[in-house]
Amino acid sequence: MLGKPTINDFVALKGQRKIVCLTAYSAPMAKVLDPHCDLLLVGDSVGMVVYGMDNTQNVDINTMIRHGQAVMRRRKSALVVIDLPSGSYETSPEQALVSANEVITKTGADAVKLEGGADFAPHVKCLVESGIPVLGHIGLLPQRTVAGKNFRITGRTPDEVSQLHIDSDALADAGVFGVVMEGIVEPVAASIAKLSKVLTIGIGASAACDGQILVTDDMLGLYDAFTPKFVRKFTNLQDEISRAVECYCAAVIDGSFPSKDHLFFNKKDSASSKAAK
Ligand code: KIV
């Protein structure tokens, strides 16, 4: 996508080509990812990935706003969506609207995401009717896991299958422009993706989804506290960083860093040092 993104342009990608989404929490990462991605999610996974928390449940709205502002400073063409954190929207549609308004006003992001299915259709409807685009999130809901447990794949029982279809339809009817489907058994995710009238973005769901999302730090090999089965590490930046830091240590210890190139001299000294070269 070229230029400032719009929800309409994004939605028009459905059926045209696969949609590429990743998480971003910082300005430098947004700068690198923006040219490659259709959507950057400022996910509340920031709590685990950046702050070392055990789950996403204690991330607050100010944290989401600060990281959203950082990402927005470097995004050029990708759609930016910010997670409404746990505790900021569940109570009522009105609470969701106050939080979503704050996030959008303070960051300038394009949309918010919230976790939950049919129970949250009234919240979604309220936001959409107030002009705030919403991305849904069904299946495995990290905000609802208990004490970091229950990272459980869904869609294994008939009840779960029918609930997932109900959730997907209710969110679409409430006006989401797309839905993230996380941790859902493949045939069920594929069937929802096929039937859904809105964009489907998979993470541990199905290649039949309209697009895919991963936590960037997972796919770069930067986060290793826990690696879900659905992650492919496309590189191992931890190893790369370790190698670079080893080189830095060696250079500091053997005195080859800093060299003259990295130091400051008076003009006279630098002229004489150049002449001496
Ligand atoms: O917070 C997050 O990073 C997410 C993705 C896993 C979809 O919600």
**Domain residue spans of the chain:** 7-235, 240-276
Q: Report the share of the chain in percent with pLDDT over 70.
A: 94
Structure confidence at residue 267 (pLDDT): 84
CB contact at 8 A, 179 and 136? yes
- Tell me, using a 6 A CB cutoff, whether residue 34 lines ligand 1: no
pLDDT higher than threshold 60 for residue 233 = yes
Instruction: Return the residue whose CA atom lies nearest to atom 4 of ligand 1.
Output: 43
Superfamily the domain 7-235 falls into:
Phosphoenolpyruvate-binding domains (3.20.20.60)
Give per-residue pLDDT as tens, 5-19: 899 999 999 999 999
Å from CA of 138 to ligand 1 middle = 11
CB of 83 shorter than 6 A to ligand 1: yes
Taking the CA of residue 115 as reference, the ligand 1 atom at the shortest distance is: 8
Long-range contacts of 29-35 (CB under 8 A, 24+ apart): 29/71, 29/216, 30/70, 30/71, 30/72, 30/73, 30/74, 30/75, 31/74, 33/78, 33/216, 34/74, 34/75, 34/76, 34/77, 34/78, 35/76, 35/77
Q: Of these residues, 129, 182, 186, 240, which one is catalytic? A: 182
Q: Please name the residue ranges forming H helices in the chain.
A: 7-11, 27-33, 46-49, 61-74, 93-107, 121-129, 158-174, 186-195, 216-219, 237-254, 267-276
Least confident among 42-56, 94-108, 142-156: 142-156
Of 66-80, 95-109, 151-165, 256-270, the least confident: 256-270
Helix (H) / strand (E) element for 79: namely strand 79-83
pLDDT beyond 90 at 172:
yes
pLDDT value, residue 147: 57
**Which atom of ligand 1 has the smallest separation from the CA of 83?**
1
**Is the CB of 22 inside a 6 Å radius of any atom of ligand 1?**
no
Pairing of strands 211-214, 19-23: parallel
Residue 226's pLDDT is what?
86
State if residue 44 touches ligand 1 by the CB under 6 angstroms criterion. yes
Question: Which tens digit of pLDDT belongs to each residue from 70-98?
Answer: 999 999 999 999 999 999 999 999 999 99
